[in-house]
Amino acid sequence: MNVDDIKKIAVLGAGAMGHGIAMVALMAGYNVVLRDIKQEFVDKGVKAMQEEFDKFYVSKGKLTEEEVAKMMNEQLTTAVDMKDAASDIDFSIEAVPEIMKIKKEVFGDLDKYAPEHAILASNTSMMSITEIAKATNRPDKVVGMHWFNPPTRMQLIEVIKGEKTSEETMQVTYDLSKKLGKVPIRVEKDVTGFIVNRISAPANALLGALLDKGDVSPEAVDALLMSVGQPMGAYLLMDYVGLDISCETLKYCAETLSSDYEPSKVISDLISKGQLGMKTGKGIYDWSQGRPKIDESKSAEAAEKFDPMEPVAVQINEAVKLLEQDVVKNPDDIDTAVKLGLNMPMGPFDMLGMFEDLKGLLESLAKKYNKKIFEPTKTIKEGKLKELLESRRR
């Protein structure tokens, strides 16, 4: 099978990610079936697609009303029954909640009805592709295809290889990502968090530990981060995304990687009170009057107790682990993934020159917060990072 054999794509899950992925596939010329477990969910997804086409494409002159109508009427079908959704597809993209039990049920059901040649992809942001594939009789055709939100505007797709994913499946998924107008990055080993979320996790753990320590206010830290060019402070961003989302990510890392990732007590307490950030009107900040304004004059307060390069240091450390473990072959792919996935101007390895003593900083962070995940990785300890990067870029 090659990418030109793909004519029809099933998108399983009509929520924000699912209907966004369906829009991208329609605009690339594919026939799409959008499936969810209830007709009301499907209808809501289709309505959201129409609204987004009107708001972001028709109103801006990128598409005409006639072009959108043609896609929605001629290329898009919908389904609730899995057999109806999967019987004649060539490729499927699962975008259901991040609960392993649900994902395995979906893949088991999908495997019964999809043609033998069909590739089954998961949009999971953290979970094991290998484990999901166990629910099927075609693990060689199960692959990770991690999109970023919103799918219509974010360029990155992480293409993840499970233990039994074939090279053909990887290549077809990679090529399809390109045909969909995206920038695919290969993830050669099935590890928690893949690239972007894996590299973000220790920085989030650090910010949580800093919050629990209580030496400096979240607003002061955000003011300092914004003063050095970060568009949104780290804690403000946590609130914006949802404290429950970052907490679930860290919980999964704690279960699969290290207990050092256990979520912050302060954030866990806020979640238990139903204070999840922007979506509930209150979290680390008060959002009841709209987006909180950060008092940037408070940056001096944080400067004495927090170095804005500390989160960068632990991200570089985690990126090196991915190279050491052959999760990613080329360090440039890591930089590209982080820049596109997090809307950052620079990737972790782009920022290496900003550190005089990366090893010493990581050792001090590990000691200060009593977290082994911050300890410098083997390559950094041995002073061989430059050598590693040069060898991988050849």
Catalytic residue among 158, 219, 262, 318: 158
Catalytic residue among 122, 123, 125, 200: 125
**Rounded Cα–Cα distance for residues 238 and 221 (Å):** 13
**Rounded Cα–Cα distance for residues 198 and 337 (Å):** 11
- CA 61 centroid distance within chain: 30
Catalytic residue among 197, 204, 246, 264: 197
19 is catalytic: no
- DSSP type of residue 149: S
Catalytic residue among 19, 31, 92, 146: 146
117 is catalytic: no
Going across the sheet that includes 183-187, the strands are 76-79, 31-35, 8-12, 91-94, 119-122, 142-147, 156-160, 183-187
H helix or E strand, kind and range, residue 129: helix 129-133
Cβ 182 vs Cβ 155: under 8 Å: yes
- Measured between alpha carbons, how far is residue 33 from residues 85, 131, 174 in Å? 6, 25, 21
- Measured between alpha carbons, how far is residue 253 from residues 50, 57, 80, 175, 231 in Å? 37, 38, 33, 30, 26
**Rounded Cα–Cα distance for residues 341 and 196 (Å):** 6
Active-site amino acid positions? 125, 146, 158, 197
